[in-house]
């Protein structure tokens, strides 16, 4: 089993739709979690960190469920410009600080 | 300010050749990371430098891969006897103090081994 798993998609949604992605992780001692966005043939860019209490940044909401070992990303009122691959990142337990990336979930927002 | 830069942006080489990939981190960032990203996959960790020393090189796939950061700034990833399976995008990232800080990625070097 991979350490971090994501549904690769693609998720095709109309403009204005709400879409959610999940990401599961296998190491229950994982400490930190992030969502990165990657446009085609570009580098990953930090979208948001994921906090235990959940956090929101505009149309984006991230949540962490430690009991079930997954994080989620919710995008409301999707824009065409949201089309990208969304990468889940988990930092492992103390003593190792490697970023472990999921394979990414591809989102296409359609006009 | 300037972000992470990587050169070359593209590198085509033949099987068996030696290549060097360069990364110039954000000024003042003490931590530097190398990743490899294959098509349809997320970036895969290779090595992490804190200052001049490799703090974690557990992701290097074999001894054909080596990286240095002699002055704690620019880093070079070196691949000997390249194989077709080494073809990927090699991404460099840097962070201010260490792995708990946000990592900022460079545009990557696309390596193609023929």
Q: How far is B98 from chain A (nearest CA, A)?
A: 9
Six-digit token string for A55:
């956090």
Q: How many CA atoms lie within 13 A of A110 on its CB side?
A: 5
What integer best gives the mean pLDDT of chain A?
Answer: 92
If one compares A97 and A47, the residue with the highest pLDDT of the two is: A47
With a CB cutoff of 8 Å and minimum separation 6, the contacts of B46 are B33, B34, B35, B36, B57, B59, B60, B61, B65, B67, B77
Q: Does B48 touch chain A (CB under 8 A)?
A: yes
Check: CB of residue B24 under 8 Å from CB of residue B6. yes
Per-residue pLDDT tens for B1-43? 589 999 999 999 999 999 999 999 999 999 999 999 999 999 9
Q: Which residues of B touch A90 (CB under 8 A)?
A: none
Q: Which residues of B touch A99 (CB under 8 A)?
A: 33, 35, 43, 45, 99, 103
pLDDT at B108: 97
Share of chain B above pLDDT 70, in %: 99
Q: Which residues of B touch A96 (CB under 8 A)?
A: 56
What integer best gives the mean pLDDT of chain B?
Answer: 95
CA atoms of B65 and A21, how far apart (whole Å): 35
Per-residue pLDDT tens for A50-93? 988 899 999 999 999 999 999 999 999 999 999 999 999 998 75
pLDDT at B101: 85
Per-residue pLDDT tens for B56-103? 999 999 999 999 999 999 999 999 999 999 999 999 999 998 887 889
In the predicted structure, residue A94 carries a pLDDT above the cut 70: no
């Amino acid at each position: 089993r991979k350490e971090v798993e994501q549904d690769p998609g693609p998720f095709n949604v109309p403009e204005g739709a709400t879409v959610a992605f999940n990401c599961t992780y296998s190491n229950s001692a994982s400490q930190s979690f992030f969502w990165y966005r990657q446009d085609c043939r570009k580098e990953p860019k930090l979208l948001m960190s994921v906090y235990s209490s959940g956090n929101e940044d505009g149309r984006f909401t991230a949540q962490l469920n430690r009991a079930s070992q997954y994080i989620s990303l919710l995008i409301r009122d999707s824009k065409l410009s949201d089309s990208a691959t969304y990468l889940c990142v988990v930092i492992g337990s103390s003593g190792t600080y490697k970023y472990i990336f999921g394979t990414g979930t591809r989102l296409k927002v359609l006009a | 300010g300037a972000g992470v830069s990587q050169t070359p942006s593209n590198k085509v080489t033949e099987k068996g050749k030696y290549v060097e990939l360069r990364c110039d981190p954000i000024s003042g960032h003490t931590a530097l990371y190398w990743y490899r990203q294959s098509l349809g996959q997320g970036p895969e960790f290779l090595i992490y430098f804190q200052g001049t020393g490799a703090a974690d090189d557990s992701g290097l796939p074999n001894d054909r891969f080596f990286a240095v950061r002699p002055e704690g700034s620019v880093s070079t990833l070196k691949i000997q006897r390249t194989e077709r399976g080494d073809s990927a995008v090699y991404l460099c990232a840097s962070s201010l103090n260490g792995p708990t800080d946000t990592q900022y990625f460079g545009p990557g070097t696309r390596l193609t081994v023929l």
